A and B are shown apart, each in its own frame.
Chain A
């Protein structure tokens, strides 16, 4: 076997107290597509960012052609011939599509001026190769997630890279677009480049890749030829235990409708979304990135206004765009991005945990320390938050514990309807199970739970019903006994009617 084109060995990387990668190895060969699989939080994206020169490894080495490679920044990685398509598109909304593709390496004409005409022609040529019709002069603002991803792909192939890294590039693409992407990836590979492909979809992994590496909890688990690995083996290695034990959803008796959403529309974001969540029920809202799930949950909670439709809690209509009224009616929202939206990072654990109830805990507007501390202590113990002291800033906690503080903060308000957006993103498996146990317990106590989640095992394990969104519309409402990976993915990619 020839020596690897690109190799990582003994790579470790920590962020504060959290170890994202521990002693990871990876070998990519020229002319070969290599899959990297693992659960969310397994460290795949951190590894990608090391290859992209965004993060420098704390320990370990990266070699290219057997020579050590030190990347001081993304420009270094680009110059070394490493092209990266990120999970989330990173475009400049104000600039044209062509400029987005060639930023920093625009074709030049005399006096080192940017040659706009040639840049436009080159962009058009790339889109032709990808088989899409995008106007190179159009600004990137307003492009759908799928079109943004296509621009990213065009950018990556324009580099003629020796190593092409694709971090879940297909999450937002339709079937036709995925086929085209794969055709391009294969031609890149056959031209002698090494391809690293990250995906949650096993059919894609097995269709494209010759070799598969599994990661779990920031560690390398295994690397095998694709032909010698089955999906079941791969899943067991990713999860590290039997899937069924992970999601302890209890059977509950479903009660009266708690949350009713009718004809909810926000122009250009989602349209005519209607559903009901009953007491004791966990309803999952599934769909691809950018399908409008978080936007719906934000509109229901009153963070964003909607243009048409209505939201009812226990039969009473909520005013549009009024979070205060939503909280008073018994709604609670655990947002997707806990650092930005769920917590005030500089404040202490106890302040964060009691923030929504500062009025009921206060005495004539005065917050007396005792009440706050006692309440925070009760709830953080109930959720087993691991914090040195409750007075410490919440930013010192690990991701999983931060998420528990967000949950504690809202559970203490005794919500009647709990909306959780990606409740277990980026937290370790142990905490994940605890969060699931907690959601299940809440439902058993009669809370109506609406769970937005991108993790299919979580959706399938936890939900009594699965609502699937596709391009801003509700594409399917699947009961628990009929929900499986296939039915949800088909609806999420807009194929439900055609299948």
Chain B
């Protein structure tokens, strides 16, 4: 009697510690990799840590990080959103077009318009997936082309230049507060809000449940279709917001904005420790992944590594991240199992 009572408790405590450590390792590992990378690059070239360069790094990470936060929400539910690059493109072009038509429009209104446009496009994705029961990979691969096609039809080869945008809007793209770019502050706010939501709200926790075991989620009475729809609306809305910020940062927008970005976003999420089969990871990790990828791209030329190797380096990082993830989860799984079998 005492044996059966004590056994699960002891075993569980040990298991929990191990798992907690593993969760910490995930995000800490990325942070550590980032620190090592920055340190090594700074030793090679001290100017890498100059105020200007740090500002450029943060600016460069901003858009990718916002997209990665949205993507992480989707991936946690065991789905994927490949259409984010195209949504960003449409939103960026819409921003330019709206400002052409109404130059005096307040910036916050423009931010709302872009976000709403993205949310609508995300709802199209989520609606198709939930209603037609088609895998997200297929649906968003389709909408990737459809949304981009709409962008081309709308733009008809035009390009909207910085001169057509309000000066205040463009200034937002480069302005800093205490050395931190305003755009990066957007990313931080998005990250904290979404991160807090997914960790502390019922519907946020249900996203994890959904990705962890979809069948069990249905049996628990979780409205799975609605949760998936909301996840895609979130991802779309953030891509829409990122589109507005994109045009503020670059000033010049054509129908190609954000093309091919979806794969960078998925890479950031995976490198950030969000399991591609859902259920675990955090948006903080995904954002860190975005910063790490951006920093690598900036660091390689400084380290004297040929630019042509950039993609290979990013690819190697993804494989390393997945390999580490597999090794860790295999170790955790084995030790959780072994303890049981050996009593």
Residues of A within 8 A of B (CB): 52-54, 73-78, 86, 90-95, 99, 103-106, 108, 112-114, 131-135, 137-139, 141-144, 147, 174, 176-177, 267-269, 271, 471-472
Contact A135 B212, CB 8 Å, known A113-B200, A271-B341, A471-B341: no
Looking at the complex, which one of B4, B209, B216, B332 makes contact with A176 (CB distance below 8 Å)?
A: B4
Q: How many residues of B contact A (CB 8 A)?
A: 41
| Whole-angstrom CA separation of A53 from B223 in the bound complex | 13
Q: How far is the CA of A52 from the CA of B216 in the complex (A)?
A: 13
Given contacts A94-B208, A142-B337, contact A147 B8 (CB under 8 A): yes
Is there an interface contact between A269 and B337, defined as CB atoms closer than 8 Å? Answer: yes
The verdict on A114 contacting B202 (CB below 8 Å), with A75-B223, A86-B219, A92-B216 known, is yes
Q: Residues on B close to A: CB < 8 A?
A: 1, 4-6, 8-9, 12-13, 15-16, 19, 200-202, 205-206, 208-209, 211-213, 215-223, 275, 279-280, 332-334, 336-338, 340-341
Given contacts A92-B208, A92-B213, A113-B200, 20 further A-B contacts (CB under 8 A): A73-B221, A77-B221, A90-B213, A92-B212, A94-B280, A95-B208, A95-B212, A99-B205, A103-B205, A104-B209, A112-B201, A135-B9, A137-B16, A138-B13, A139-B19, A141-B333, A142-B332, A142-B340, A267-B334, A268-B341
Cα separation A108 to B216 with both chains bound (whole Å) = 22
Most buried by A among B1, B218, B219: B219
The answer to whether A114 touches B200, judged by C-beta atoms less than 8 angstroms apart, is yes
18 contacts between A and B (CB under 8 A): A54-B219, A75-B223, A92-B216, A95-B205, A99-B205, A103-B222, A106-B205, A114-B202, A132-B8, A133-B8, A135-B13, A135-B15, A138-B15, A142-B340, A143-B336, A176-B1, A268-B337, A269-B337
User: Is B206 in contact with A269, judged by CB distance below 8 angstroms?
Assistant: no
- B1, B5, B19 — which one has the most chain A CB atoms within 10 A of its CB? B19
User: Do A74 and B341 form a contact, CB below 8 Å, given A103-B209, A139-B19?
Assistant: no
Quote the shortest CB–CB distance from B211 to chain A (angstroms): 8
CB distance from A79 to the nearest CB of B (A): 8
Closest 8 CB pairs of A and B: A142-B336, A268-B337, A75-B221, A133-B9, A135-B12, A94-B279, A90-B216, A92-B212
Indicate if the CB atoms of B12 and A138 lie closer than 8 Å. Answer: yes
Q: Which residues on A sit within 8 Å (CB–CB) of B208?
A: 92, 94-95
Rounded to whole Å, the gap between the CB of B201 and the closest CB of chain A is 6
Distance of A419 Cα from B275 Cα, bound (Å): 36
Chain B residue at minimum C-beta to C-beta distance from A146: B8
Question: Is the CB–CB distance between A268 and B205 below 8 Å?
Answer: no
User: Are A133 and B5 CB-contacts (below 8 A) given A92-B208, A269-B341?
Assistant: yes
Hey, which chain A residues are within 8 Å of B202, CB to CB?
A: 104-106, 108, 112, 114
Residues of B within 8 A of A471 (CB): 340-341
- Considering the complex, give the chain A residue whose CB is closest to the CB of B279: A94
Task: Report which of A76, A103, A134, A137 forms a contact with B220, defined as CB distance below 8 A.
Answer: A103
Nearest-CB residue, chain A, relative to B7: A133
- Whole-angstrom distance between the alpha carbons of A141 and B9 in the complex? 15
CA–CA, A76 to B1, complex, Å? 39
Cβ of A104: which chain B residues have Cβ within 8 Å of it? 202, 206, 209, 220-222
Residues of A within 8 A of B13 (CB): 135, 138
Q: Is the CB of B209 within 8 A of A113?
A: no
Q: Is the CB of B220 within 8 A of A267?
A: no
When C-beta atoms are compared, the residue in chain A nearest to B221 turns out to be A75
B16 touches A138 (CB 8 A): yes
CB-nearest residue of chain A to B275:
A94
Q: How far is the CB of A134 from chain B (nearest CB, A)?
A: 5
A133–B6 CB distance below 8 A? yes
Among A54, A99, A103, A137: residue with most chain B CB under 10 A: A103
Q: A142 to nearest B CB, angstroms?
A: 3
Give bound CA distance, A468 to B32, whole Å: 50
Q: A138 — which chain B residues lie within 8 A by C-beta? A: 12-13, 15-16, 19
Decide: A141 and B336 in contact? CB cutoff 8 A. Answer: yes
Asked whether, in the complex, the Cβ of A113 is within 8 Å of the Cβ of B333, the reply is no
Chain A residues with CB under 8 A of B206: 103-104
- What CA separation (Å) do A73 and B215 show in the bound complex? 13
Residues of A within 8 A of B15 (CB): 135, 138-139, 142
* Contact partners of A74 in chain B: CB under 8 A: 218-221
Cα of A93 to Cα of B338 in the assembled complex, Å = 17
- Give Cα distance in the complex from A90 to B334, angstroms: 21
Cβ of A81 to closest chain B Cβ, rounded Å: 13
The smallest beta-carbon distance between B186 and chain A, in angstroms, is 23
| Contact residues in B for A267 (Cβ distance below 8 Å) | 334, 337-338, 341
A421–B1 Cα distance when bound, in Å, is 34
- Expressed in whole angstroms, the Cα–Cα distance for A143 and B279 within the complex equals 17
Q: Which chain A positions have C-beta within 8 A of B5?
A: 131-133
**Nearest residue, chain A, Cβ from B3:** A176
B25 to chain A, nearest CB (A): 15
Which residues on the B side are within 8 Å of A77 (C-beta)? 221
Chain A neighbourhood of B332, CB < 8 A: 141-142
Question: In the complex the two chains form, is B222's CB within 8 Å of A134's CB?
Answer: no
Contact call B341/A134, Cβ cutoff below 8 A: no
A92 vs B207: C-alpha distance when bound (angstroms): 11
B6's closest neighbor in chain A, by CB? A133
Which residue on chain B has the smallest CB distance to residue A292?
Answer: B341
Q: Which B residues touch A105, using CB under 8 A?
A: 202
Task: Look across to chain B and name the residue whose beta carbon is closest to the beta carbon of A109.
Answer: B200
Chain A residues within an 8 Å CB radius of B279: 92-95
A73, A90, A91, A94: residue with the most chain B Cβ atoms closer than 10 Å: A94
Cβ contact within 8 Å between A114 and B201: yes
CA distance A151 to B126 in the complex (A): 32
- Residues of chain A within 8 A (CB-CB) of B337 are 142, 267-269
Shortest beta-carbon distance from B276 to chain A in Å: 13
In the assembly, what is the distance between CA of A93 and CA of B280, in Å?
Answer: 10
Determine if A268 and B334 form an interchain contact, defined as CB atoms under 8 angstroms apart: yes
CA distance A90 to B12 in the complex (A): 19
Nearest B residue (CB) for A176: B4
Residues of A within 8 A of B1 (CB): 176
How distant is A243 from chain B, measured CB to nearest CB, in Å? Answer: 34
Which residue on chain B has the smallest CB distance to residue A96?
B16
- C-alpha gap A268/B341 in the complex (Å): 5
Residues on A with beta carbons closer than 8 Å to the beta carbon of B8: 132-134, 147
Residues of A close to B19: CB separation below 8 A: 138-139
A91 and B213 contact, Cβ closer than 8 Å, known pairs A142-B336, A142-B340: yes
- With a cutoff of 8 Å between Cβ atoms, the chain A residues found around residue B212 in the complex are 92-95
What are the residues of chain B within 8 A of A142 when measuring CB–CB? 15, 332-333, 336-337, 340
Complex Cα distance A99/B206, Å? 10
CA distance in complex: A141, B331 (Å) = 12
Residues of B within 8 A of A141 (CB): 332-333, 336
Choose one: B209, B275, B340; the contact of A144 (CB below 8 Å).
B340
A72 CB → nearest B CB, Å: 10
> B220 to chain A: which residues have CB within 8 Å?
74, 90, 103-104
Write the chain B residue with the least CB distance to A135. Answer: B12
Q: For A271, what are the chain B residues with a Cβ–Cβ distance below 8 Å?
A: 341
